[in-house]
């Protein structure tokens, strides 16, 4: 049976605290009220905001890569929001069907992460096959193999991070000062996430 993104989301969020060894406050980015609350908690707890754009796919290519799809506008918007006190990752699970699930912790422990800051600041448009015109659906194909993502097109490659490495990343994050954000900074935050399709986008405040 195909694994839905919702299943990946639930199990990824469930298992992540045990990996990084820190408490996490999760919030789903679905409404402005929830975003305001998430932002407030982040500033009050002196946390660093980490965004996870979660993907799911059961498509395996002949070369063994698992193919995901990522809308270009969403990818470029995420790249534009990279800041010193904000980490953004795509989450690419290693299982796409129930038969591929290796354990209850499969999605939190076996997924790979793409650090959005590794993407070029201006991401090339996805092109139609054999053409120089943009792909009609406006999506990038992301072919994932162990340690590497190949993003089309024109194809470029980005190194991937195992989820386990989040533990060391969390230790290195520079936590933002508490109660040090004016209202206009929330407005900037809300403008940023409003331009992102919030389906399968989750925020975590790591404290």
List, for residues 145-199, the tens digit of each pLDDT value.
Answer: 999 999 997 789 999 999 888 877 766 664 444 344 444 455 555 555 565 554 5
Domains in the chain: how many in total?
1
pLDDT at 31 over 80: no
CB neighbour list of residue 50: distance below 8 Å, 6 or more residues apart: 86, 87, 88, 89, 203, 204, 205, 206
- The residue segments making up the domain with residue 96 are 5-206
Most trustworthy range by pLDDT among 73-87, 127-141, 155-169? 155-169
Q: What is the pLDDT of residue 38?
A: 46
Task: Encode 4-32: b = buried (16+ Cβ within 10 Å), e = exposed.
Answer: ebebbbebbbebbeebbeeebeebbbeee
Half-sphere exposure of 192 (CA within 13 A, CB side): 21
Are 203 and 26 a contacting pair, CB within 8 Å? yes
Q: What is the mean pLDDT of the chain?
A: 77
User: Among the listed ranges 43-47, 82-86, 136-140, which one has the minimum average pLDDT value?
Assistant: 43-47
CB neighbour list of residue 109: distance below 8 Å, 6 or more residues apart: 15, 19, 103, 163, 164
* pLDDT single digits (tens) 12-22: 888 888 888 77
Are 65 and 143 a contacting pair, CB within 8 Å? yes
Are 152 and 143 a contacting pair, CB within 8 Å? yes
Q: What is the pLDDT of residue 178?
A: 38
């Amino acid at each position: 049976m195909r694994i839905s993104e919702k299943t990946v989301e639930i199990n990824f969020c469930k298992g992540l605290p045990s990996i990084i060894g820190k408490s996490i406050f999760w919030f789903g980015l679905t409404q402005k009220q929830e975003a305001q609350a998430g932002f407030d908690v982040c500033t009050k707890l002196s946390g660093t905001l980490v965004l996870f754009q979660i993907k799911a796919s059961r498509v395996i290519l002949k070369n063994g890569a698992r193919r995901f799809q990522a809308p270009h506008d969403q990818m470029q918007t995420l790249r534009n929001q990279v800041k010193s006190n904000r980490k953004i990752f795509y989450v690419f699970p290693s299982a796409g069907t129930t038969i591929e699930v290796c354990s209850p912790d499969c999605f939190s422990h076996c997924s790979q992460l793409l650090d959005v800051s590794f993407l070029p600041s201006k991401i090339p448009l996805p092109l139609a096959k054999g053409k120089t015109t943009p792909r009609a659906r406006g999506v990038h194909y992301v072919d994932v193999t162990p340690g590497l993502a190949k993003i089309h097109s024109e194809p470029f490659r980005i190194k991937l991070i195992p989820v386990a490495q989040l533990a060391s990343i969390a230790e290195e994050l520079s936590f933002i000062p508490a109660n040090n954000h004016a209202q206009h900074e929330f407005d900037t935050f809300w403008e940023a996430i409003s331009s992102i399709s919030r389906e399968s986008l989750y925020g975590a405040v790591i404290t």
